[in-house]
Structure 1
Amino acid sequence: MIIVIDPEKNTRIPFSRGILTRSITTTGVDVGIAYSIATEIVKDLQRKKIKLITKEEIRKITYEKLIGHGLKDAARKYLFWHELRRLKYPMIILIGGATGVGKSTLATELAFRLGIRTVIGTDTIREVMRKMINKELLPSIHTSSFLAWKELKNLPRNVDPLIYGFETQVRYTSVGINAVIERSYKEGFNTIIEGIHLVPGYVSLNDRSFMYLISLKSPDALEARFYERAHYSLRPAEYYIKNIEEIIHIQEYLIKKAREYEIPIIENIELERSINNIMAHLMEDISKRLKERGIKLKIE
């Protein structure tokens, strides 16, 4: 067994090929290639009969392996994320978007790549609020986002009923969302929050939060996702397809808000591409913020 030593924490843990594979995938390298490289490293250590190794030595070996495979850009990215973990830089990643665009899948995959354990859906936050506040007091949070307007009485004149109802639901749900963001910020732990209620202007962003809007412009692609989702959940595709025009209208509203607040918009055509786009944005934004604070990462 190979034991990994962390001199700073004074800990010793068994070497994990899976953890190394995950850290390599943060660079955008395919998981299959990442696993192959991790396997090569294990075999090299076994051949050399190495029983004890430091985390820094593993970092150096992995970097050199990536270079050796012609993956220079991936090697640089690997050092970036390694340095960020060393700095214990906390991140609060917010992934918004209309119903059915793939937010949950992206959040789960992103959490795996970054080693983030806390993933919270805004529907979960809303469900907690439903248990605490009865329907008579806040009817808009007790229904789907695209049907919230039907629960409201005395709608103002000259407003879009669908968007007004949605904004009403968002306004109340944002109380819970902002509380989660504030706690994550104070405690300094990494969190991913995903959901339709993450609307620019309603969410309290800070110097450790990064927000992205996920879109899916094709109605056919959106419909296909509803059928796909129905295979592994209890949510019937027909319920959403029946309201697909309303869902698309809400998406148009979200895109408009994202542009207004300069939030990156990621069109979720393919999972791997979307994840790589988010990771690239994160690298750029984090580097900029650290530079502003006078912190320079050693990634060369």
Structure 2
Amino acid sequence: MIVVTDPERRIKLPFSRGILTRSITLAGVDVGVAYIIATEVQKALEGRKAHVVTTEEIRGLTYGSLLNHGLKEAARRYLFWRQLRRLKVPITILLGGATGVGKSTLATELAFRLGIRSVIGTDTIREVMRKIIAPELLPDLHTSSFLAWKTVGPVSGGKPLIRGFEEQVRHVAVGVNAVLERTHREGFNAVLEGIHLVPGFVEPDEHDFMYVITVGSREALEAHFYERSLYSTRSAEYYLEHIDSIIEVQEYIVKMARKHGVPIIENVELEKTVGGVMEGVIERLMRELGE
């Protein structure tokens, strides 16, 4: 067994090819290539017949292997991520988007790769608020986002569907903004996801990373609902029955994202979507930290 020591943090851990693979993917390297590089590093360590190595040695071997594969930019990003970990720069990522676009799956995958332990859904925040606030006071909290229009009064101008959705978002945003305030105050990493993360309603810090996730077609959204139903108790038929309303909500969220300059990412394939978000995060961090 190869033991890895970190003199700065004074810890000793067994070498893990899986952990190294995850670290390499943070630099924007495809997971398959990252696994190959991690395997090369492991073989190099075994060739040295050393039972104890430092994190610095592993960092150097990984950097060299990335360069040997012609991944110069990825090698630079890899070193940057390692530096970022030592600096303990807090990262908060917000993923908005309509029902069924894959926000929860994306949030979980991002958290895993970035080593973030807190994943918070706005549906959870809304559920807590439901227990505190009676339906008679805020009826829009107690229904689906695309059915909240049924709880609002007559609308003069505009679309009832969007008016109801805005009311629900405005109320849930109180809880969302409270969570954001706590993450900023305590400086811990978090991924927030949910339909209520609408640009213009939530108050992210200038250092937070906000994205709106979309699907490009009605057929793609239908496929998402059917796939989701395989792994949960949520029936695809219920959402398909309201798919026109869900698409209208998506169009509204996209419009708000464009208005407030929030990046929009189409979720065609999970690996590419994860890569797109991580690339955006690292590029901005490198600019801000002058790398």
If the length of structure 1 is used for normalisation, what is the TM-score?
Answer: 0.93
2:20 paired residue number: 20
CA distance in 1, matches of 2:49, 2:251: 59
For the pair 1:44 / 2:44, whether they are aligned, the reply is yes
Gap regions ≥5 residues in structure 1: 292-296
2:150 paired residue number: 150
CA distance in 1, matches of 2:209, 2:147: 29
2:129 paired residue number: 129
Question: Shift in Å at residue 29 of structure 1?
Answer: 2.1
CA distance in 2, matches of 1:91, 1:191: 7
1:174 paired residue number: 173
1:272 paired residue number: 271
Question: Shift in Å at residue 30 of structure 1?
Answer: 2.4
The residue type equivalent to 1:102 in the other structure is: G
Contact 1:6 1:54 survives alignment (8 Å): yes
1:139 paired residue number: 139
Question: Shift in Å at residue 71 of structure 1?
Answer: 2.0
Question: Shift in Å at residue 121 of structure 1?
Answer: 0.8
CA distance in 1, matches of 2:19, 2:264: 30
Question: Shift in Å at residue 73 of structure 1?
Answer: 2.4
What does the per-residue CA deviation read over 1:56-88, in whole Å, with 9 as the maximum and x for residues that have no partner?
A: 221111110111122222212212211211211
Greater Cα shift, 50-59 or 233-242: 50-59
CA distance in 2, matches of 1:257, 1:80: 33
Gap regions ≥5 residues in structure 2: none
2:3 paired residue number: 3
1:69 paired residue number: 69
Contact 2:28 2:279 survives alignment (8 Å): no
CA distance in 2, matches of 1:156, 1:242: 24
CA distance in 1, matches of 2:154, 2:46: 70
Question: Shift in Å at residue 19 of structure 1?
Answer: 1.0
Cα distance change of structure 1 residues 206 and 10 upon mapping to structure 2, 3 Å threshold: same
Question: Shift in Å at residue 159 of structure 1?
Answer: 2.8
CA distance in 1, matches of 2:34, 2:216: 32
CA distance in 2, matches of 1:283, 1:54: 25
Contact 1:95 1:103 survives alignment (8 Å): yes
2:203 paired residue number: 204
Contact 1:24 1:34 survives alignment (8 Å): yes
Greater Cα shift, 2-11 or 95-104: 2-11
Identity %: 61
CA distance in 1, matches of 2:65, 2:253: 43
CA RMSD of aligned residues (A): 1.3
CA distance in 1, matches of 2:280, 2:33: 23
1:89 paired residue number: 89
If the length of structure 2 is used for normalisation, what is the TM-score?
Answer: 0.96
